[in-house]
Every structure is written in C-alpha cells, then in structure tokens.
Structure 1
Amino acid sequence: MSEHREEPLAARERRVVIVGAGMAGVQTAVALRELGWAGTVTVLGAEPHPPYDRPPLSKAVLLGKADGSAFEVDFALLGIDLQLGREATGLRPAEHLVDTASGPVPYDVLVIATGAEPVRLPGSEGLPNVHLLRTLDDAVRLRPVLAAQHDVVAVGAGWIGAEVATAAREAGCEVTVVEAADRVLAGALPAEVAARMAPWYAESGARLMLGARVTTVEDDAVVLADGTRLTAGAVVVGVGARAATGWLEGSGIALGDDRAVLADERLRTSLPGVY
C-alpha cells in the first residue's frame, strides 16, 4: 500500500464521512468522538430508519415481540451528523466526493462501512411470495406471513435459514429447509462442528432436506432439481451475502475477487484517505 498523503487542515476542519449506518459505521463514529476527534463526523445511512442492530430481526422483530432494535446512541449529543435515507451511489476520490441521489457529500477522510447485501435466488425477482431477511423492512414484511401460519420454505441452511426456521415454527408454520450442500452451515463451519447444528431443525419441528438444489420458484411452490415440488406460501432466501461495493465501481479502489474492498493491517484501502 502507498503512504496516505492528505492536505494539511486544522483538526477542527477535517471532515470524516462514514458510508453505512450499521454496527461498524455507528461504532466508528462513536469511537472517533470518544478518542477526541474534533472535526465533523457524518454518517450516511441508506435506510430511513435510525441505525439498529440486525440479529434481533430474525427473532424478536420477526415474531412481533419488538418493533425495532435501534442503537442507544445520542448522535446529536456526540455531534454526529446522521443523514438517513441517503444511499451512496458513487465515489469520486480525485474530488473527495461521495455521490448520492440528493447530491455529492465532500470528505477529507472516508470510511467504507456498507457491509454486505444478500444474494438473490435467480429467477425469483419480483415474486411476491419470495422474501429476504436483511433489513428492518424485510422483517416487517415477513412478520404477517408468519402470523398467518403459511407453509414456509427456507432456501439455504445457513444462519438465516436456521433463524427463520425456528421463528416460523414458533409462529406455528410448517417449515421445510432446503440446502444444496450435503450439510448445514457448509460455508461457515467445519463439518464436525456443523454436524452438531443439524439437530436444531428436527428439534424445532422443521423438515431439513440436504443435497436439494432449487431449480424454479413459482407463485406457490419451490421446485427442486429432482422434480420434487414443495408447496410454499412463503419462500425465504438465505443463500449467502456479498460485499455491498457496487457504488465503488469506477472509483479505482482495489477490490478482491469476491468484490470486497482490499485493505492493509491498518484498514487503509488503495486510495489515500479512504478506510
């Protein structure tokens, strides 16, 4: 990595812009203030909701036991400019600008904290019965589906599949989990550890189908490669996530083969002043 050279500005005039209002972005903003950063701190959040914790979405929010999981942070007191509903659409490093639909945002130091976005199941776009579970709005849309006790097919036996299966069973739904791999949590844990997780499904009353590849999603069913047709009032897709870096296309920032941002041991990217 090359050394970062930035224009000498008075500390109180330096502008930090953090793109992403999730856990990483919020904690970065809070830490800057706690460590005495005197310049401005702006956090850009794509969603309209105040920053929140995601894990409760798959249980408390999904089952209607909570309406949200907002962080207990007083942004105004900390002097953090929180701009919600302002999604980054591009980066112009030569001009030190982050582009958004409502206009560019200038920065002296930029922090990328846009996290990941869920992988969609090919051919399922636009189907009203197909759901993702990543955001608060996703959980709110899925909550009445579970309350109505529809038959649920969860595609993917990863963390999302496990959480949705147990929550849906608690809500009284019939649940089938289909996984293309030969074991649960195949992309997250070694086989000997994942094997201990498989009983979760049976204990919850969910049906687990391994080595089952989805070929087609219909309005009321999921069709597998072997021709099996699973009735589904709702399909929840949890087949993984990828780095949300589409907005960095054309910026010159170095990305890995998985499209994630490359950084050194100090979290510096290939662009000066960008972390």
Structure 2
Amino acid sequence: MSEQTAEEGTSQGPRVVVVGAGMAGVQTAVALREQGFRGRVTVIGAEPHQPYDRPPLSKAVLLGKAEGSAFDVDFESLGVELRLGCEVHGLRPDARELDTEAGSVPYDVLVLATGAEPITLPGTEGVPGVHLLRTLDDAERLRPVLTRQHDIVVVGAGWIGAEFATAAREAGCAVTVVEAADHPLAGALPTEVSAPMAAWYADSGAELRTRARVERVEPG
C-alpha cells in the first residue's frame, strides 16, 4: 500500500477501534484493509510488545529457540494505528468512547478481541513458584524455571498444558499434569478423539492425573 493510500485510509469512512492485539485483533485490522476499508483503524493492546502469535510461547519461546513471535505485518503501510501498552478501563456506549489509561478514545465501530484470561487458583496469590502462561512476559519468566530443571506441576491438560508439559520434559524437568476432567482436552475434543491422547503423556515421561480438581495451593 502506498503512503498516499495509507494516509487516505486514516480519514475516509468511520473509525474502527479494535481492543486486543492478538491474532483475532490483528487479523481483523488486516482483513479490513484487504477488503478495501478506507476509514481509520486503531488497534489497542495492553502489552507493550509488538503484536505477536501466542502458540510459540509454550514451545519455542519457552525453550529459548525463539525470542518472540511477532506477526509479519507492516502496520504502518496498512495505515493501522497501534496503541500498545495501553489498558482499557471502561466503555461508554452512549458516547461511543473507550476509557483508557492514556485518555478517552472515540470510535464509530468497536471490535472486542481481548481473548481470555487464565483462571487464578485459590491460594496462589503471592505464593512463590506459581506461574501463569499467557503472555510473552510469562514465557520469559518461565524459561529459567525450565533451565534449572525444577519439578513442575501443570494444572490443566488442554492444548497449552500439553505443549508446556512437552517443553518441560524436553528441558529435563519432572512433570506432573493434573486435570479435573477424566481425559485430556475434554473441553476441546470429543472423548473418542481425546481419550487416547492420555498415552502421549506417559510416552513423554510426564505423569497425568485425571479427575484431579485443584482446591487450593499451599506454599511448599
């Protein structure tokens, strides 16, 4: 896209604001331009990093095989404004404005693409050695844990739990995975498909405990 087109794309048509700089938010912005949308497009992300893909966090980034996974998108040439490190605190639909820590942001069309937050388990607040894995910063904090080959308990046998367990085993850690359901990936796949996957954990040297709901976490 030429500079002239990018500039025109900031002034013609309604203003679209996308909250969330992950896969969904970025692809929304890209698709708007691909479909010929000429209005202003702003993507707001709470993290300070360039928008990135999350799946490598539980594999290559954790193991130090990659420093990041930024999307290969030239936002400037697309005429897409990025506001990174900017948290959204509220929404005022009547005024068509977002309240952010940097001030209000007006919009004509609002797209919420914030994704999900991991569940915080009871008793984990302030307990050393308890980590979440959702962001690039989370993965970077976990990398030295794997390097030191700690004994690790993973709560959840979904896709991320499985990938993290595999990465931890590859790093030489002893791994136990606890899952509230009676088989891995219970919320993502039918039992007929996911039940045989339990053997994958044993094959990798990880212990899988199903029907094991976490009630609380206590300092060890």
| Alpha-carbon contact 2:133-2:139 (below 8 Å) kept | yes
**CA RMSD, 1 decimal:** 1.2
> Is 1:27 aligned with 2:54?
no
Equivalent position of 2:212 in the other structure: 212
C-alpha distance after superposition, 1:54-113 (max 9, x if no partner)? 000000001010010000001111111001011211110111101101111001111111
Deviates more, 1:118-127 or 1:66-75: 118-127
- The structure with the greater share of residues assigned to helix is 2
- SS of corresponding position for 1:18: strand
Residue 219 of structure 1 deviates from its aligned partner by 2.6
Equivalent position of 2:182 in the other structure: 182
| Percent pairwise identity | 73
Residue 28 of structure 1 deviates from its aligned partner by 0.8
- Unmatched segments (≥5 aa) in structure 2: 1-10
| Alpha-carbon contact 2:59-2:167 (below 8 Å) kept | yes
Give, in whole Å, the separation in 1 of the partners of 2:209 and 2:34: 49
In structure 2, do the counterparts of structure 1 residues 13 and 189 end up closer, same or farther at CA, with 3 Å as the change threshold? closer
- The structure with the greater share of residues assigned to strand is 1
- SS of corresponding position for 1:182: coil
> TM-score, normalising length from structure 1?
0.74
Give, in whole Å, the separation in 1 of the partners of 2:215 and 2:36: 54
Give, in whole Å, the separation in 2 of the partners of 1:47 and 1:98: 17
Equivalent position of 2:6 in the other structure: none
Equivalent position of 2:141 in the other structure: 141
C-alpha distance after superposition, 1:221-246 (max 9, x if no partner)? xxxxxxxxxxxxxxxxxxxxxxxxxx
| Alpha-carbon contact 2:58-2:139 (below 8 Å) kept | yes
- SS of corresponding position for 1:60: coil
> TM-score, normalising length from structure 2?
0.92
Give, in whole Å, the separation in 1 of the partners of 2:212 and 2:18: 41
Equivalent position of 2:169 in the other structure: 169
- Unmatched segments (≥5 aa) in structure 1: 1-10, 221-275
Equivalent position of 2:103 in the other structure: 103
Equivalent position of 1:64 in the other structure: 64
Give, in whole Å, the separation in 2 of the partners of 1:111 and 1:216: 36
